[in-house]
Chains A and B, each alone.
Chain A
Amino acid sequence: MNVIEINQLTKYYGKHRGIENVSFSVEEGEIFGFIGPNGAGKSTTIRALLSLIHPTSGSATIFGKDCIKYGSEIRRDIGYLPSEVFYYEHMKVREVLNYSASFYDNVDTSRIQSLAEVMDLDLNKRIDDLSYGNKKKVGIIQGLLHEPKLIILDEPTGGLDPLMQQKFFELIRTENQNGATVLFSSHILSEVQKLCGRVAIIKDGTIVRVENIRDMQKHNYKKFTLDYRGVIDVHHFNLEGVTNLTVDESTLHFLFKGDINRMVERLQGQNLMNMLVEEPSLEEIFMHYYQKEDQP
């Protein structure tokens, strides 16, 4: 079953493009990555899912119900953590969290205490006395305290130190194992790589691709690094499937996608000192998509 289904979702702010014809779906129980550079439209998509903004055209459903029409009903089972967190400045952490809990039925308020312990957060401090990272922790707890079936994270890790990020990822994994579906938006690829199964890549407001992270890394691309003894013949590798070709003194780098035997044939007779064939990082694949898109 699909928890989120987005269908040709388009949002214009006046003449300014937000997103255009975004379509993808998130299955129940998965951790779905949503990745793209800043300003690509990740937040716009998420804000439309939460009916904070109204789409210009297209539609989206969560739990099979229209996001705008059944917004308040759907949001009972959603936990949301925005990229920047702001709370009522003059309230104490505990008060904000209790206020948050008061919107849901049957909330186990002892969860506030236990989550605060895990995240190492003082519940008796005032919001305006908190550091940015600590405010983020308040955000995490208010997003998780009602045990949501769908967790939406919009660039969640900013402001958290590496140790806290680790704890946060563990929390998300535990929630996921307990049945929660996760939509994880980020522009940091290693995060997505660590956590997600599938990923949608967005650029300039349109979805470039939806892919399984393993397929993306393993089956499609190899990263070649060749150390030459003599002069490099760049044109020798001018064949289909080679991209991101760069020369760095006596070293040649490129990505290759296609029949590996053709590459082995091509490599024969090359005067090499060393050769390295690796799985490319998501970052490199990502860059590659973008460059391909940019070509006229």
Chain B
Amino acid sequence: MNILKQELRMGRKTLVVWCISLIGVLSLFMLLYPSIASQLEDFQKVFESFPIEFQQALGVADLELSSILSFYQFALMYVLLAGAIQAMNMGVSVISAEVREKTGDFLFVKPVSRNRVVSMKILAVLIQILITNAVVFTASLIMVTLLSSDSYDVELFALDTLSLLFIQIFFASLGLFVSVFLRRIRTVLPISMGVVFIFYIIHLLNETLKDEKLGLISPFDYFNLSEISKNMNYDSLNLLLWFVLVGVFIFLTFKLFARKDLPSI
């Protein structure tokens, strides 16, 4: 438990900053809503006048700007993107920090097994992800409720917002795997930004191509917001794939780290 406590303590400040940033991104978009709400139908018409390929590339092909939730989905996409970076950052750095900050010679000579250290660190990441999601969920619930003039579909709102949790868990476990796979990590942010943006670009590409196989690559496609609002559910194949991949990443993290040599300073 001492390791968990230590991890949460050390991640506290970063967590607060990220939560504030995510709420900031969300409110930036959502606060636009009242001022353009009356003109949304005009926007819709403008978008519809574009060629369909162009609409798809912009991600507005299925956009129904008339309701608050469709506008919320538009804003949420950017929260998902930022949240993915946050989660991947945590995943990559939580174990590699001990090597980067050269504190490994302190922690790993203590009477704890490596597996226990890894479990505690993963648990710490999971708790921080849950806190982030609770904060974002509450903040967006308040915002959507305040801004919407009439009632909206709460179930769809929950499905949309919960996709952040799944995407964050995916990227955190991917980050963990990357951090034990690479021999030495000097800086975290370029790695996580790079990986997240590659997956995001694949997702944008697939908005145009609508290729089923390509859709299996990017976790942003697993939780495609417009698909969710059509089906009112997550896609079960994608959910299964998500589950398997997260499992494999976590398993490999334990497996690889148990055998890893910790470089001397």
Contact = CB atoms under 8 A, between A and B. Distances in A.
B111 to A, nearest CB: 4
Contact of B113 (A72, A88, A102, A104): A72
B259 interface: yes
B84 to A, nearest CB: 27
A181 B13 CA distance: 42
A179 interface: no
Contacts of B264: 43-44, 47, 52
A253 interface: no
A72 B112 contact: yes
Interface residues of B, number: 21
A165 B82 CA distance: 51
Determine chain B's interface SS by DSSP, over half rule: loop
Contact of B106 (A73, A75, A100): A100
Interface stretch (A78-86, A221-229, A261-269): A78-86
Interface residues of A, number: 31
Contacts of A87: 103, 106
Contacts of B111: 72-76, 103-104
Contacts of A52: 104-105, 108-109, 261-262, 264
Interface string A91-135: 000000001101110000000000000000000000000000000
A80 B107 CA distance: 11
A13 B262 CA distance: 11
Contacts of A78: 109
Contacts of B230: none
A170 interface: no
B3 to A, nearest CB: 9
26 contacts: A44-B264, A47-B262, A47-B264, A50-B108, A52-B105, A52-B108, A52-B261, A52-B262, A53-B261, A53-B262, A71-B113, A75-B109, A75-B110, A76-B111, A78-B109, A83-B265, A86-B101, A86-B102, A86-B103, A86-B105, A87-B103, A89-B101, A100-B110, A102-B2, A103-B2, A103-B110
Interface of B: 2, 6, 10, 101-106, 108-113, 116, 259, 261-262, 264-265
